[in-house]
Amino acid sequence: MNFRPLHDRVLVRRVTADEKTAGGIIIPDSAKEKPQEGEIVAVGTGTRSEKGEITPLDVKAGDRILFGKWSGTEVKLNGEDLLIMKESDIMGVVG
């Protein structure tokens, strides 16, 4: 299934969290927090001004981003858990 976000929304794949602490302790799934880092899979066309002009997004597919803990809406596409969020929910680009 092809999916294209609309307007100022982006489709994000979470980056998997570490399975161990720096000291080597294995973290069980029940104690893990969901990662707040992800990779952008797809982006919308941008926001439209009152004059009808489109302003493209500052991020693009492939960018690694940081986002808020409660940002986005979880969706399942092609059996994969992804997030849809607005560009304003993104705190910054990593790298």
Q: 45-66 pLDDT, tens per residue?
A: 998 888 989 999 999 999 999 9
Q: 21-40 pLDDT, tens per residue?
A: 566 676 665 555 666 899 99
Q: Is the pLDDT of residue 87 over 80?
A: yes
The DSSP symbol for 28 reads P
Rounded to two decimals, the pTM is: 0.77
Strand 73-77 with 64-67, pairing:
unpaired
Helix (H, G, I), strand (E, B) or coil at 87: helix
- What's the start-to-end Cα distance of the chain, in Å? 30
Provide the 10 A C-beta neighbour count for residue 43. Answer: 22
Give percent of the chain above pLDDT 70: 80
The DSSP symbol for 58 reads S
Q: Dmax over Cα atoms in the chain, in whole Å?
A: 56
